Chains A and B, each alone.
Chain A
Amino acid sequence: MKFEIPATQNPIDQTTVIGQPRDRIDGPLKVSGTAPYAYERHDAAPNQAYGYVLGAAIAKGRILSIDLKEARAAPGVLAIVTASDAGKLGKGKRNTATLLGGPEIEHYHQAVALVVAETFEQARAAASLVRVDYAPSQGAFDLAAEKERAVKPPSEESTPTDTQVGDFTGAFAAAPVSLDQTYTTPDESHAMMEPHATLAAWEGDKLTVWTSNQMVDWAATDLAQTLGIPRANLRVVSPFIGGGFGGKLFLRADVLLAALGARAAERPVKVTLHRPLMMNNTTHRPATIQRIRIGATKDGTITAIGHESWSGDLPGGGPEVAVQQTRLLYAGANRMTAMRLAVLDLPEGNAMRAPGEAPGLMALEMAMDEMAEKLGMDPIAFRVLNDTQVDPEKPHRPFSMRRLNECFRIGAERFGWSRRSQRPAQARDGRWLVGIGVASAFRNNLVTKSAARVGLDRQGVVTVETDMTDIGTGSYTIIAQTAAEMLGVDLDKVIVRLGDSNFPVSSGSGGQWGANSSTAGVYAACVKLRETVAQTLGINSSEAVFTDGEVRAGNRSVPLARAAEAGPLVGEDAIEFGDLDETHQQSTFGAHFVEVGVDAATAETRIRRMLAVCAAGRILNPKTARSQVIGAMTMGAGAALMEELAVDTRRGFFVNHDLAGYEVPVHADIPHQEVIFLDETDPMSSPMKAKGVGELGICGVGAAVANAIYNATGVRVRNYPITLDKLLERMPDAA
């Protein structure tokens, strides 16, 4: 199905199942511990052995030699894989560094060996006996030090590195009120609950991997390319994923090494990237240095807005696109954005939940707060004044729908914004200095081709198959709701099978494109199935109404199941998007409100309450969508207050590489969260009229926290995370 013109009325608009706050259909499996996660697939292949990954002990250099003698002799050891005996390996096009290092070492904890043994404990013990002799070489590990050497990276059509409109320099110089500030965000880790994990089994030259991956088709393609085997010989299964946040978008070392280990041991092999390896072996959100300049007239109209960002990555990597939202979020006649990329020999930087916008808004929305103060304006009024209903760089492109101002209006009322003191450090509650802050949430709505197959059997049971993944987001449930709505049945008549490369290729989960795109693909397949059903029943498909388990047309009413009496029916199709996302800018919007308390003595910041008001098209399931947004708000709180991969700039690695050292918020950090969704449908996005929310929720939260801290204390910290040591010296007198 081509989606080339805005959606009109369709069965989804009935919202009898879709749009309802239904419980997750996979919930019972998860809470009873019976959802089959990759590392627990004891059933999937007989005689499994365990692999343990050894990570490089240096950041950059060469392996001079590896002594495996002792390890090979250790109890239970079946095989050891290293680059020197793994055969010729390619590299997936989405990987920057190779997944099995040697002799060159590109980053710390790059995998250098896999030890396969009868038990996990034996493999781990033997791995400690592998002796690797390294010749380290000098690397670059400090973004601030490399900033001046950063270069303009190759521009991609979808995200140019630089943009310019009007005369930014002139307008900024002439602006009566202006701001020129630099902000930094640190390297961050996805730190999801479930580590990367894979079970691999060969049958002849055919390979099956049970893994934890957000993008089944990418994983299959890149694994085939890395192993040099035909894509057709490969099956990737990833039905349950214990969190990804972008860390599982790509093929990682667990998959490759499980496959190589299984080949070497001639048995199925299971590999996980144990927690201390994760931060340096896999990808992370890269640190940024961001300079923002804003010029405005005295009444607060922005006349010039500029945003530059510096980040680093391994050779061949890409920049963090932190200026992305600044191209679209506020009006202003004269504009510039630019991204520069330094070579760093730290582990590979890549996407993490809302890449670009998450760190970009942490800077931009703090700058907007600072600018509002310079103007003597309320921060919401300043943003509302500079709202734009068109792409400010290309004014011929209107937003498909943009209700940012309404988010602020509703949020301000609900949160009690009017009680905020415009002067900082005015409110006190016992030992706490109290402040509130606000920020815009903004994230583009990406649409991408997605296919599905929908079957109907003689019991009237509808089965959906697609390689779409559920990374804890609720995909199973919204896909079931879509099929139920389209075919006029309730959820108990729908079975959803996900995450298998034998199924039609979907959008996968990432960039908050999954919910809208994958359900639109299911919609397309359901339209096909409806036609087949109508034809089978001898009903004119344009008149057919699917409802209450029946197909109705005129006075005629037939049970849906009857269509499959002679044999199961199948509809398979894909949604393919035309140029509506080029003629119209499709984005999602929100307003974040945060109240913090800052301890007057110790400068510890604790969040007291949070509110997000989101405008993101049709909300397919308010319950799972709310979970997405509060989870993202929690992650944003972590980014604001504690999350930082600490770089050892001498040794070139992230030092705090476990969950004791890399702190993420715990329950006690997040006392009260509220989410409001505006009631809207966006016909430009898809037949579902939905957009993404999973990343919108993190966008801007960090700045809202930072602005609340400023409002509480009068101390502006521009280097995230805002830990107490950065506040301490400038705290107001603790009387």
Chain B
Amino acid sequence: MRAFTYERANSPAAAAAAAAGNPEAKFIAGGTNLLDLMKLQIETPSHLIDVNGLKLDTIETTDDGGLRIGALVRNTALAADARVRRDYGVLSRALLAGASAQLRNRATTAGNLLQRTRCPYFYDTAQPCNKREPGSGCSALGGFSRQLGVIGVSEACIATHPSDMAVAMRALDGTVETVKADATTRTIPLAELHRAPGTTPHLETTLAQGELITAVRLPRPIGGRQIYRKVRDRASYAFALVSVAAVIQRDGSGRIALGGIAPRPWRSEAAEAELRRGAKAAAAALLEGARPTRENAFKLPLVERTLSAVLSEARA
């Protein structure tokens, strides 16, 4: 860990302003991912801006009947919120499928969206990794890639985004509210928050330097059967091999977003258009253009089979 300076921000705009002028600054909230990365010398910020005191920890009902979830709402609180459990069940289930109770108590909504990949090569500073050290190469391609991405990946990087929460929020058409250093705010659809890796996998989001997420907004409830199915090697405390967040309506239409297979929560309109024709057709559309490695090719049939189980459950 590199020595760093530390400040507590007084307002979201002040936090953004403090970070904007310093490319080596990082926001810290729950710290459940950032501190690990700092200890391992993967993240080496010279300055930390603690945003925990910013009062962004409430969940409000919005005028249009949706929810506005403060960036600092802890994962535990969000999963347990009565409105979330009633109207956005897929989100509550996704949260509870992630991490452990202790981590969820600390981890925040915005931090969860911005957590970094768990690719083991990203975690080993002795190994080439384009995400950690641009231009050094990708060790995972041709290496141990069983956990890694099969779609939306590039020659430079096959890392996955590890979040469960983000997958559910993507299915719910979540949007992200931010504030910039000049105090201007904007709204970014979750679909546009994470970048495709391309040749620059170290650039992970469309946020500007210093831009701070202040909330996640969910549109008003859409009903339907809300299912989160996480497939993994052990029963708890493991990242998804494949996960499916689904909101399925009585007529068989619906939305699906997938985790564990791509650098961002994976959703496709084409796949949703095929939903009523069944899992095979939907999976084929969803995985159009997939480029798995030898080690993770099993994720393709696994997606179809998991989707099939989810659709059966939705019908039951």
Assuming A124-B1, A656-B144, A734-B305, is B298 touching A728 (CB within 8 A)? yes
- Whether a CB of chain A sits under 8 angstroms from the CB of B221 is no
- Asked whether, in the complex, the Cβ of B302 is within 8 Å of the Cβ of A655, the reply is no
Binds A, one of B51-59, B208-216, B233-241: B233-241
Q: Is the CB of A724 within 8 A of B241?
A: yes
Complex contacts, B236 vs chain A, CB 8 Å: 666-669
Give Cα distance in the complex from A650 to B128, angstroms.
13
Residues of A within 8 A of B234 (CB): 641-642, 663, 665-666, 668-669
- Please tell me the size bucket of the interface on B: 35 or more
Min CB distance A670 to B, Å, is: 9
In the complex, are the beta carbons of A666 and B237 less than 8 A apart? yes
Cβ-defined contact, B231 with A604, below 8 A: yes
Q: Digit string of A706-732 for contact with B (CB within 8 Å is 1, else 0)?
A: 000000000000000001110011000
Q: How far is the CA of A723 from the CA of B231 in the complex (A)?
A: 11
* B139 neighbours in A (Cβ, 8 Å): 648, 651
- The reply to whether A651 and B306 form a contact with Cβ atoms under 8 Å apart is no
Q: How far is the CA of A650 from the CA of B145 in the complex (A)?
A: 13
Contact residues of B with A, CB < 8 Å?
1-3, 39-41, 118, 120-121, 123-127, 139, 142-144, 146, 231-239, 241-242, 298, 301-302, 305-306, 308-309
Give chain A residues whose Cβ lies under 8 Å from the Cβ of B39. Answer: 124
Which of chain B's residues have a CB closer than 8 A to the CB of A121?
Answer: 1
CB-CB under 8 A from A431, the residues of chain B are 309
CB-defined A-B contacts under 8 Å, sample of 21: A124-B1, A125-B3, A276-B123, A601-B309, A602-B242, A602-B309, A604-B231, A641-B233, A642-B233, A642-B234, A655-B120, A655-B121, A656-B144, A658-B123, A660-B239, A661-B120, A663-B238, A669-B236, A724-B231, A728-B305, A729-B298
Distance, CA A656 to CA B124, complexed state (A): 10
Which residues of the partner chain B approach A647 to less than 8 Å between Cβ atoms?
A: 144
Categorize the interface residue count of chain A.
35 or more
With both beta carbons as reference points, the residue of chain B lying nearest to A638 in the complex is identified as B234
Across the A-B interface, the 9 shortest Cβ-Cβ residue pairs? A57-B126, A601-B309, A668-B235, A725-B298, A668-B236, A655-B144, A646-B144, A602-B231, A601-B305
CB distance from B233 to the nearest CB of A (A): 5
Question: How many whole Å from B24's CB to the nearest CB in chain A?
Answer: 15
A601, B1: Cβ atoms closer than 8 Å: no
In the complex, whether A606 has a CB less than 8 A from a CB of chain B is: yes
Bound-state CA distance A666–B99 (Å) is: 12
| Distance between B302 CB and nearest chain A CB, rounded to angstroms | 6
How many pairs of A and B residues are in contact by the CB < 8 Å rule? 99
Taking the nearest CB of chain B, how far is it from the CB of A530, in angstroms?
51
Contact of A75 with B by CB under 8 A: yes
Closest CB of chain B to A152's CB: distance in Å? 32
Would B306 and A602 count as touching, CB distance under 8 A? yes
Main secondary structure of the interface of B (DSSP, over half): loop
Asked if residues A276 and B40 are in contact (CB atoms below 8 Å), the reply is yes
In the assembled complex, which residues on chain B have CB atoms less than 8 Å from the CB atom of A604?
231-233
Neighbouring A residues of B118 by C-beta, 8 Å: 660-661
Q: Which of A650, A655, A658, A734 has the most CB of B within 10 A?
A: A655
In Å, the complex CA distance between A729 and B300 comes to: 11
Whether A724 pairs with B143 at a CB distance below 8 angstroms is: no
**Would you call A657 an interface residue if the criterion is a C-beta within 8 Å of the partner chain's C-beta atoms?**
yes
Interface bits A261-301 vs B (CB < 8 Å: 1, else 0)? 00000000000000010000000000000000000000000
- Complex Cα distance, B147 from A723, in Å, reads 12
Q: Cα distance A660–B238 when bound, in Å?
A: 7
- Asked if A164 CB lies within 8 Å of chain B CBs, one says no
Contact B120 A651 (CB under 8 A): no
A138 near B: Cβ within 8 Å?
no
A residues within 8 A CB of B121?
655
Q: A660-B118, A668-B235 are in contact. Are A602 and B305 (CB under 8 A)?
A: yes
In the complex, chain A residues whose CB is within 8 Å of the CB of B3: 75, 125
- Besides A276-B124, A641-B233, A666-B237, 6 other A-B contacts (C-beta < 8 A): A128-B2, A604-B232, A663-B234, A666-B234, A666-B235, A728-B305
Please, which residues of chain B bring their CB within 8 A of the CB of A656? 120, 144
* Bound complex: CA A651 to CA B241 (Å): 24
Q: Decide if B238 touches A725 in the complex (CB within 8 Å).
A: no
Q: Contacts of B237 on A, CB cut-off 8 Å?
A: 666, 668
Tell me, in angstroms, the Cα distance from A57 to B125 when the chains sit together: 9
A283 to B303 CA separation, bound complex (whole angstroms): 37
B41: chain A residues at CB < 8 Å are: 128
| CA of A268 to CA of B135, assembled, Å | 43
CB distance from B101 to the nearest CB of A (A): 12
Residues of B within 8 A of A642 (CB): 233-234
* Residue of chain B at shortest CB distance from A124: B1
Q: In the assembly, what is the distance between CA of A648 and CA of B298, in Å?
A: 19
- Chain B residues whose C-beta falls within 8 Å of the C-beta of A668 in the assembled complex: 234-237
Interface residues in A502-519 (C-beta closer than 8 Å to B): none
Interchain CB contact under 8 A, B1 and A725: no
**Distance, CA A348 to CA B120, complexed state (A):** 21
For residue B41, give the distance in angstroms from its CB to the closest CB of chain A.
5
Which B residues are in CB contact (< 8 Å) with A734?
Answer: 305, 308-309
Known: A602-B306, A655-B120, A729-B301. A663 touches B1 (CB 8 A): no
CB pair A728 B143 closer than 8 Å: no
Which residues of chain A are within 8 angstroms of B143 by Cβ–Cβ distance? 648, 650-651, 655
In the bound assembly, the distance between CA atoms of A660 and B99 in angstroms comes to 10
In the complex, A663→B237 CA distance in Å? 9
Segment 392-426 of A: residues with Cβ below 8 Å from B: none
Q: Per-position contact with B for A625-643: 1 when CB-CB < 8 Å, else 0?
A: 0000000000000000110
Distance between Cα atoms of A723 and B298 in the complex (Å) = 11
Query: Cα distance A48–B223 when bound, in Å?
Result: 61
A668–B97 Cα gap in the complex (Å)?
Answer: 12
From known contacts A276-B124, A655-B143, A655-B144, infer whether A125 and B305 are also in contact, taking CB-CB under 8 Å. Answer: no
Provide the residues of chain A in CB contact with B305, threshold 8 Å: 601-603, 728, 734
Residues of chain A in range 573-608 having any CB-CB distance to chain B below 8 Å:
599-604, 606
**How far apart sit A725 and B3, CA to CA, in the bound complex (Å)?**
43
Query: Contacts A125-B3, A601-B306: A725 and B146 contacting too (C-beta < 8 A)?
Result: yes
Name the distance in Å between A605's Cβ and chain B's nearest Cβ.
9
Q: Which residue of B lies closest to A122 (CB)?
A: B3
Tell me the bound Cα distance from A666 to B100 in angstroms.
Answer: 11
